[in-house]
A and B are shown apart, each in its own frame.
Chain A
Amino acid sequence: MTARVTEEEVERVAELAHLQLTPDESVRMQKDLNAILDHVAELNELDTTGVVPLASANELADAPASELRADVVVKSLDRAVVMAQAPESSGAFFKVPKVIER
């Protein structure tokens, strides 16, 4: 868990996150990530064998839990209004650069 993050790993993670870092940014991020992960390593001191992970406080709160609404179609936002926010649109579809070379 105290693994040092290498330059290659920073680049791999950036690619996973669809970020394209400049060489300067990469160096800086590597340094910051290592400093933060060194601190995070403190968690290793704790034995958490058998502890059930807690994903959300909703699992704990002793108040009436929210019920899922009925699965019925309800009116949503008007399509034209939503599409108007797109950087590029055909009116019905979002337009993006080509995905597949022909």
Chain B
Amino acid sequence: MAGESKTGSFVEKPQTLAALKGEIAAGRTKAVDLAAAYYQRIAKKNPRLNVYLSLTKDRALAQATHIDELAAKGDPLPPLAGIPVGIKDVLVMQGAPATAGSKILEGYLPPYDATAVAKLEAAGALLLGKINCDEFAMGSSNENSAYGPVRNPVDTERVPGGSSGGSAAAVAANMAVGTLGSDTGGSIRQPASFCGVVGVLPTYGRVSRYGLIAFASSLDRVGPFAANVRDAATILSVIAGHDPKDATSSQAPVPDYAAESDKPVEGLRIGVPAEYFAEGLDAEVRAQIEKGIDALKKAGCTIKPVSLPHTKYAIPTYYLVATAEASANLARFDGVRYGYRSPQSETLSDMYSHSRDEAFGAEVKRRILLGTYALSAGYYDAYYLKAQQVRRLLAEEFLRAFTQVDAIVTPTSPVPAFKLGEKADDPLAMYLADIYTVTASLAGICGVAVPCGATSTGLPVGMQVLAGHFQEGAAFRVARAVESAQI
């Protein structure tokens, strides 16, 4: 019983990934007990928070048994041996329901694993289950899930952010040590900020998207969440790398990001763009971010103003590009090959439109319509092409800035977590709140969202640390320095 209560204490008082792995390697904690303790905690917390949509207990326990056998033999353990993780339900796991938060995939059991998921398991992780999110990753509050909203563990009357709100909430409530999410316009960074955890936007091409249900293919990325920067870095090293099954994945070698995050920040040049501290930024958020910048200065960084004047055009650019790509990507959901098919269809054409109309939620329809409109004859040049041109201006502006600084720091979101229902009826207001995150999405650069204090009412504030293409190491170092300052 002593062993059991000790394992139980790990879920009451979260441990770092390295500490947990050490416990398992030394045989002091069994991976099977750890898995059981996490499932108990999930059973307790999930009814209120609505984080997990389905659990993959057989798979997690088989893996845990395997890890315990390795540990008993004294074999060297893989980097995530026995670490309980959760997967955003836009990434497929063989034989486990994949919903993408939508009714249209009802009943779908994917016949394969996403590459990032397979890599986690090959590295010894225990795959606990699939995690709630906005439908097709479209949303900034998790209120667009067909399976109900996720609640923010910090304040359950508030949203956890979106679209990877469940993945952020899972880590914040210690219903997993690490999770995977996806980020198209801020969907990892913003919920990390709302829930007070670390979220990583890897460079475009850094992590394979094979097995990620596509939203906007020129923007979609897969990335990790964890309770601290070093753990997030460890997970990124596991999931990053070239994949022959994703032609956009890069051949660039994968560094040991945890070791990169250990390096001191002294001498690094940090850019602060005035455009991210303008009208609309909550005063308390600003005050916390300024404390974070002061901490970086004290740690020996040089703080430099940088100018990103096209920032104000990022939201319209993003919502044109993302919706145009979504209208094409979501054409595949038609009731033919998988998921939901409307029972009341006489003709093929009716089957398509009935299935889609009955099973897609309002936000998904809104974005499909906007994207289809922007791509349609007569509007293509004025909207889609124009947006792609502005996208280049935005991206080049970042590349110029990164010739002068090693990283750029900004607030992750202009506001802390808002209340459920507060913005649900105003799609434009919801879009505008993505102002600080969509820019890096368009430019393809990387970033880390790291906790940076809290408001007077205890709501987490997040700092976004951006770095150039494939410069995740720099972003992790800076994020680590902010974390260490304990703002």
Contacts and interface: CB of A to CB of B under 8 A. Distances in A.
A87 B335 contact: yes
Closest 5 CB pairs of A and B: A57-B444, A53-B388, A54-B392, A87-B341, A48-B389
A88 B431 CA distance: 38
Given A18-B353, A46-B393, A97-B347, 6 more contacts: A1-B386, A54-B388, A55-B218, A58-B248, A60-B444, A63-B205
Nearest to A62: B469
Contact of A20 (B338, B346, B357): B357
B111 A77 contact: yes
Contacts of B353: 18-20
A66 B247 CA distance: 6
A58 B392 CA distance: 12
A1 B382 contact: yes
Nearest to B427: A32
B373 A77 contact: no
Interface in A4-29: 5, 9-10, 13-14, 16-21, 25, 28-29
B428 interface: yes
B418 interface: no
A85 B312 contact: no
Interface in A33-92: 33, 35-37, 39-43, 46, 48, 51-58, 60-69, 77-78, 81-82, 84-88
Interface string B335-375: 11111110001111111111011001010011011101100
Task: Give the contact-size bracket for chain A.
Answer: 35 or more
A46 B109 CA distance: 47
A86 B338 contact: yes
Contacts of A29: 365-366, 369
A64 B250 contact: yes
A33 B205 contact: no
B478 interface: no
Nearest to B352: A18
B204 interface: yes
8 contacts: A16-B372, A19-B360, A35-B427, A37-B370, A57-B205, A63-B251, A86-B338, A88-B341
B111 A66 contact: no
B255 interface: no
Give the interface SS of chain B, mostly helix, strand, loop or mixed. Answer: helix
Interface string B233-255: 00000000010100111111000
B136 interface: no
B467 interface: no
- Is the interface on chain B under 10, 10 to 19, 20 to 34, or 35 or more residues? 35 or more
Nearest to A67: B251
A66 B250 contact: yes
Interface string B107-118: 011111000000
Interface string B285-311: 000000000000000000000000010
A61 B250 contact: yes
A41 B391 CA distance: 15
B251 A19 contact: no
B327 A17 contact: yes
Contact of B383 (A32, A40, A66, A97): A40
Contacts of A48: 386, 389-390, 393
Contacts of B205: 57-58, 61, 63, 66
Interface string B382-415: 1101111111110100010000000000000000
Given A48-B386, A60-B444, A19 B111 contact: no
A85 B388 contact: no
B317 A43 contact: yes
Contact of A51 (B247, B320, B336, B392): B392
